[in-house]
Amino acid sequence: MNDAVTTRSIVVERTLPHPPEKVWRALTRAELISQWLMPNDFQPEVGHRFTFRTRPMGDWDGVVQCEVLDAKPHERLRYSWVGGSPSARLDSVVTWTLTPTDAGTHLRMEHAGFRPENETAFAAMSPGWFRILERIGDVIEADEA
Amino acid sequence: MNDAVTTRSIVVERTLPHPPEKVWRALTRAELISQWLMPNDFQPEVGHRFTFRTRPMGDWDGVVQCEVLDAKPHERLRYSWVGGSPSARLDSVVTWTLTPTDAGTHLRMEHAGFRPENETAFAAMSPGWFRILERIGDVIEADEA
């Protein structure tokens, strides 16, 4: 990796009217994640490798290869996110940070590591993550646990 | 402020082949800042109020109202950034973080606080900050100090 490259991140933040425990469930239960993101075989264990799978688009096979890098219950979740077209592979990291507030939980999502050649992915995912954060609220709302 | 609103940030990171002291100069000397951003009356003192001024665009008067919130030499600089059109006022914060590396300095810029009504500003400034980070490198290169 050439450190001289300029990289960009997508950051979206939202305060949810639910305690961190309930937000954490939505971020870490495979069946709940699939409701706001993509089908997956996620498990909240450091070192666990998993994939997100969606329909292939262009020269991308629709698979995101991930590995859990950090999982501190109710506080912080971090996984690598590698995918995209072979000609512009996206080698990135997603970090979720949960902070309790009087009203519930402040949720911050940072997707870091977009290099200049990942411009197409950045342009697509920047509004995409915004909508996903809105959707997480609906999934938590519907989660009876 | 309604905490339930989803906000976005722009984050751009770059490693520069210069020590933090030299990067800090470029971020805190008014005459150097004006070379990579806009004319200004910045001073690196917490509580100092200053403005960036550029040509008016649409219903924006071209003025950004700022206040220094944090200034730890060679490490961290933070200022509020309030401006934009009266109908979609941008109430935001810019944070610069400098981390020494073997090769020089890792520089991270985060511009936080874009609400849904600031979509136009977000769309314009997201590629804008990318170019600005590239430009800072040129300004440091040309700075003889």
> pLDDT by residue (tens digit) across B22-75?
999 999 999 999 999 999 999 999 999 999 999 988 888 999 999 999 999 999
In chain A, residues with a C-beta closer than 8 Å to the C-beta of B15 are 3-4
> pLDDT by residue (tens digit) across A111-142?
999 999 998 889 889 889 999 999 999 999 99
Q: Which letter, b or e, does each residue of A79-95 get, where b requires 16 or more Cβ atoms within 10 Å of its Cβ?
A: bbbbbbbeeeebebbbb
Q: Record the pTM.
A: 0.85
Task: Examine the pLDDT at B114 and tell me if it is beyond 60.
Answer: yes
- What is the C-alpha separation between A115 and A88, in angstroms, rounded? 9
Q: Which residue of A has its CA nearest to B15?
A: A4
Q: Which of B6, B106, B133 minimises the CB distance to A14?
A: B6
In chain A, residues with a C-beta closer than 8 Å to the C-beta of B101 are 3
> pLDDT by residue (tens digit) across B116-143?
999 888 988 988 999 999 999 999 999 8
- What is the C-alpha separation between B105 and B23, in angstroms, rounded? 8
| CA A36 vs CA A3, A8, A14, A31: distances in Å | 33, 24, 15, 10
Tokens of B128: 């804008």
Q: Which letter, b or e, does each residue of A124-140 get, where b requires 16 or more Cβ atoms within 10 Å of its Cβ?
A: ebbeebbeebeebbebb
Residue pointed to by tokens 């509580």: B47
Q: Which residue of A has its CA nearest to B103?
A: A3
ipTM score of complex? 0.75
